[in-house]
Every structure is written in C-alpha cells, then in structure tokens.
Amino acid sequence: MKLTIGWLYPDLMSTYGDRGNIIVLVKRCEWRKIGVNVEEITLETKSDVLKNCDMIFMGGAQDRQQKIASDDLSKNKGPAIQEMIENETPGLFVCAAYQFMGHYYRPAEGEDIKGLGIFDLYTQHFGKDKPRCIGNTVINIKNQISKIKNTYQNSTSLITLVGFENHGGRTYRS
C-alpha cells in the first residue's frame, strides 16, 4: 500500500511549524508499513497533480500569504480540491487552511479573503483585544444538504469535524 499526501502551498502556508504535521503523518505511515510520498503542491503546480493524491494537507499563514493562496485556489486548484472532498478524500486543514474550506475569512483589518465555500461557514477576526481561542474543538454538522459523489441529497447523518484550535478568529456557520 502506498499513500500520496498532497501538501498544499508548503512555501506559503507553513508559518506555524506545519512541516511537523507532515513529519508526523509520514512517520505514522512508516510505523504501519505504509509507503508514503509527499507531493508538494505550490502555486506553479498544475491542479491535475492533485488527482494523484490520497490525502490533502494544508497549514496556516499570515494574511498576506493567505491572499496569495486564495487567489490560486479561486483560479486554479479550488475545483479539484472541492471534487476531492466531495469524493471523500480525507484532508487535514490546520489554522488558516480550514478557513479556506468556508466562504471567507474576515481579518481584523483589510478586505475579506475568499474561501472555497465547501463548508457553510466563515471566520472573522475581531482584533488583538479579543483573547485567542486555544483548545480542542469538535463541530457536528447535521441536516445539511450535502453533495457526495456528485449527487445532491438531503442528509440527516452527522458529520463530525475534530481539531485543535489556537486561533484569534472565530468561525461561525453561515
């Protein structure tokens, strides 16, 4: 068995030590005797490369880098990522990366940063005076219209998103 992890924007979206997440994923595969390849997906990478990935990973970054990644996602890689998620390809989205799965991120200063709108959520940062959210988080989504395997269906099943947050913004369902 061999697993290919598509690491989105390692040069832009890795401000907070996200290389460590890749190291852990690779090591856990090695312990289980699973061959693993990490495909670095940069601005220059064609979106077709994503089709060969079994998992997607993306880390966090400052607003400036997020704007650059957002532009590329909107113009190039977004449709491929959306298709992968709809086809149940697993993803690990850390920090600012999960904001891209929603509609937008509203920074404390400046213009909104567009997301892919895969999940019906948005994130807003209220400024330095609001304390950071730090800790484990679980989000349960149910009774949503979901697009799975290219067919729309009314879903009463529960989708659970699990993570750890150290974030200045607040994420809300739209």
pLDDT (tens digit, 9 = 90+) per residue, 25-65?
A: 999 999 999 999 999 999 999 999 999 999 999 998 988 99
Q: Which residue in 10, 7, 13 sits closest to 62, CA to CA?
A: 13
Looking at 30-174, which runs of residues are DSSP E strands? 35-41, 55-58, 91-93, 104-106, 113-114, 121-125, 133-141, 145-148, 151-154, 159-167, 169-173
Domains defined along the chain, listed by start: 2-173 (3.40.50)
Instruction: Indicate the pLDDT class of residue 145, thresholds 50, 70 and 90.
Output: very low
Q: Which residues contact 147 (CB under 8 A, 6 or more apart)?
A: 86
pTM of the model: 0.81
